[in-house]
Structure 1
Amino acid sequence: MKKLGMLFLSTVALVSAQAAQATTYTPAGTFTATGTLTVQKGLTLNCAATFKIVVPEAAPDAHGTFSHGHSANVTAATLTGGLCPLVTLNNLPWPVTYDGTNLIFTGVAASTITPGGCLPGTIQGAWNNTTKTVTFVNQTLTGGSGSANCIINGTLTVNPTISITNP
């Protein structure tokens, strides 16, 4: 019985340690990331980009408030300007994680005006918690059907203000 009790306490301690190290998005809510993205795949397009990011409320914290979340998803993404509306960002929602330096967007895919599109993949951008910006530098998604890869560059600013931490 004593061993069973120690096993239970060890399991609780491990789960608590993992939860304490989770990414925290403060506050919970709906955010808009806007800016300019350059998308290259045969053509180079400079597009106004808008991403809708949803951070669901977490369980109540020690103070009983729902002021933060531990997950985030891009639920809508659009490109506008020139030929940009012909590029459809799809495979939504995209889970967003944070490694302490970069925001990582998983499952990103696109239909493009050039053959093959962009297959689902992961892109990441450096997160600046002071300026509330994410900057993508030469992020690559594999081109479909043996076509050219898709290269993404640019910076998006998130509003309203959000703080993202990962202890």
Structure 2
Amino acid sequence: MANYAILVDDRYCIGCNTCFYKCVQENRLHEEASRSLHRTMVFLDQGEEPGKYHHRCMHCENPVCAAVCTTGAMSKSDYGAVLYEPDICIACRSCVLACPYKVPQYDEEAKGIVKCSMCAHRVVQGNIPACVEACPTSALEFGEAKALRAKAEKIAAEEGLVLYGVGTNVMVLTTKEPTS
């Protein structure tokens, strides 16, 4: 299977969070969402420097969360996603503390970790992640990682954009360097 990635083009994101709602629906996460837990979310900052912050698993090429997981509950898949196996998780929360992007969340009620799986159940069947499929502005693109990276690097160079997330399987094209 190919090594896949998601490209987020922030210029087209309108902050509608359709990606979040589709993720909740696709993965039947209504209870998690009601407890303010999420796998993907676009936060709108109305402060001194207004903008958007995309909070989602970056599916790192060398995930620290998987490296610190003593049980193997976090692992890197052959196709690029960092996966979580709840049946072998001991809820030590090492992954939560180790993630440089502060993505894995501990669900007190379920006694487990909440994070994006890049819709593993869809990708292995040849489909794209639900968030990508649902985006009304095509701000999300799914494809082979090398091709998406090359495309993103070209766009960034030609249009003076910042490419954030190189070294991960989720890259973000944005007009300014993310602060969070």
User: Which is higher, the Rg of structure 1 or of structure 2?
Assistant: 1
Length-normalised TM-score, structure 2? 0.22
Length-normalised TM-score, structure 1? 0.24
* Higher fraction of strand: 1
> Taking CA–CA contacts closer than 8 Å with sequence separation of 6 or more, which of the two structures ends up with the larger relative contact order?
2
* Higher fraction of helix: 2
